[in-house]
Structure 1
């Protein structure tokens, strides 16, 4: 049996996928298998994989949706559910390039009991891409390497966990096709069932290049507020801490003051500052712009 099964979802980015897969050739731990889960790609992904699987030094299995259409990352990762059987599971985004000790560093955490290893994605263009710079300041980055962190900071771009965690809760919620919240919903169900200990593993590194612009990322956050945020609130009404739902959706005095602070006009000011300030200063305003857009999307859903 393999020590690791690695799940890599991909959609129309075979050049990035190629770099990701080649990097796994150089891992210090060799006992692993890769599942490449194709989400309806229409580029050269499939032909590349059909050729590469014969050349790779490790086992690769190609999985696709029955209709070969796009179903979103959650459903795409779930393609692996019938087949994973290793002791541990790794989620790795296809635009990430794992460093040679990537699996070894995850294993150093996972061999402890009941743990989840939350790895690090380092964006090589964080000095020129504001969204990348913002991501480098938030979530798990507020904690020290090796520290236990809140489950809400679990993300699947670089994540290690016992395989039984994934299979016993039925994987990710495949009905969430649009952007945002899929990882948080998955993390909440993990937390409820296993009360696992999420560890920030800053030594399990994959490198990437961020392609999103701030306008594109904020449009995605607004879409999240209108769709998946509402869905998660209905599915898990007791999960009030998700994106400050207790303040975004209520009408108490505290909630109203919070919502006033995220008024669209103030959000536009933050977005404008993001577009004109140097990145080192602009990062301070991205979070406010994100919150404003989530609230804007949520308000649309209530009309």
Structure 2
């Protein structure tokens, strides 16, 4: 097994189903998908039981946690996985056909954390798509409606224009990220203290991977597409504020203190919308993605 795709999920049954269906069309077959159901109260368990019944061109493994948060769910999924490369994907991120192949290639090449490129579709498009089967025609139509967000463009710039800067780990985003199992173990996995609140646990993981000697690199070939469900980036970062404060207190590092002080001020001042915005888009043309 070359790779394990790790997906934590909580109460997103319809979107998760579209994600699992989209993984049918990968250009490689030497991977498994491991889903950790983190105490969902919707139809997630029933949907996963139906998928696990067979008919998929990849191996699907399902495990459970009791609503402990995404970090704990990822750790649990990793613990039962078999792949040499761990690919972190969310339950609302639709993979392009070369997604797994591109991550395997990048994360197998030395001590690299492979940060893929995330596109986004507006909420109204995402809701329509989530109600329909993820057939090739629908998947291709989804990508034509996708856009590159301001926040993702910031990530692209940070990792390509200034590839030698110290804060590359800040771009750690576990909705599209891959690392070798050795790198994951050296980083110590995810700190489960962050709990069910959104944010910062993946930033913390990126920092730990960096300290362990794994370099963040941008992987534009590993494309996936976010089925948007929130119209307020500022609200998400307000929710994450206590998590960033926890990360700040966790490490005795003046450089990190300065950076996280800046982020905390941005969040508290409502200005995070400008820096991390995911509901405004650039003028980049959507990629042409074929599932045939």
Q: TM-score range by the shorter chain?
A: 0.7 to 0.9
Counterpart position of 2:248: 233
1:173 to 174, 191, 206: 191
Structure 1: segments with no counterpart, 5+ residues: 250-258, 272-284, 291-303
Q: 2:41 corresponds to which residue?
A: 42
Q: Would you say 1:213 and 2:231 are equivalent positions? A: yes
Q: Tell me the TM-score normalised to structure 1 length.
A: 0.74
Given that 1:127 and 1:133 are in contact with CA atoms closer than 8 Å, whether structure 2 keeps it comes out as: no
The equivalent of 2:287 in structure 1 is none
* Aligned-pair CA distance for 1:127: 11
Match of 1:164 among 173, 182, 195: 182
Query: Which residue of the partner structure matches residue 64 of structure 2?
Result: 64
Q: Is the 8 A contact 2:186 2:209 kept in 1?
A: no
SS at the partner of 2:192? coil
Is residue 287 from structure 1 mapped to residue 275 from structure 2 by the alignment?
A: yes
Confirm whether residue 134 of structure 1 aligns to residue 150 of structure 2: yes
| Corresponding residue number in structure 2 for 1:93 | 90
| Matching residue of 2:17 | 18
> What is the SS of the residue equivalent to 2:92?
coil
Structure 2 equivalent of residue 103 of structure 1: 100
Q: Are residues 132 and 210 of structure 1, via their aligned partners in 2, closer, same or farther at CA, if it must alter by over 3 Å?
A: farther
Judging changes above 3 Å, is the alpha-carbon distance between structure 1 residues 288 and 200 closer, same or farther for their aligned structure 2 residues? closer
Which residue does 1:183 correspond to in 2? 202
The one-character-per-residue Cα deviations of 1:188-216 (angstroms, maximum 9, x if unpaired) are 111112x21211001110112212112xx
Q: 1:244 aligns with which of 244, 254, 259?
A: 259
SS across alignment from 1:81: helix
Q: Deviations for 1:53-90, whole angstroms, at most 9, x for unmatched residues?
A: 1222211111101xxx3211111111123223321110
Alignment CA distance shift 1:205-1:148 (3 Å): farther
Contact 1:106 1:117 in 2 (8 A): yes
SS at match of 2:223: strand
C-alpha distance in 1 between matches for 2:13 and 2:267:
40
CA distance 1:246–1:212, shift in 2 (3 Å): closer
Following superposition, the deviation at residue 287 of structure 1 comes to: 2.5
Match of 1:298 in 2: none
Change beyond 3 A, Cα 1:55–1:242: farther
RMSD, aligned CA? 3.2
Q: What residue in structure 1 maps to residue 111 of structure 2?
A: 114
Q: Give the 3 Å change call, closer, same or farther, for CA 91–239 of structure 1 in structure 2.
A: farther
8 Å CA contact retained: 1:176, 1:228: yes
Distance 1:98 1:242 in 2: 35
Q: Secondary structure at the match of 1:137?
A: helix
Q: Which moved more, 1:147-156 or 1:35-44?
A: 147-156
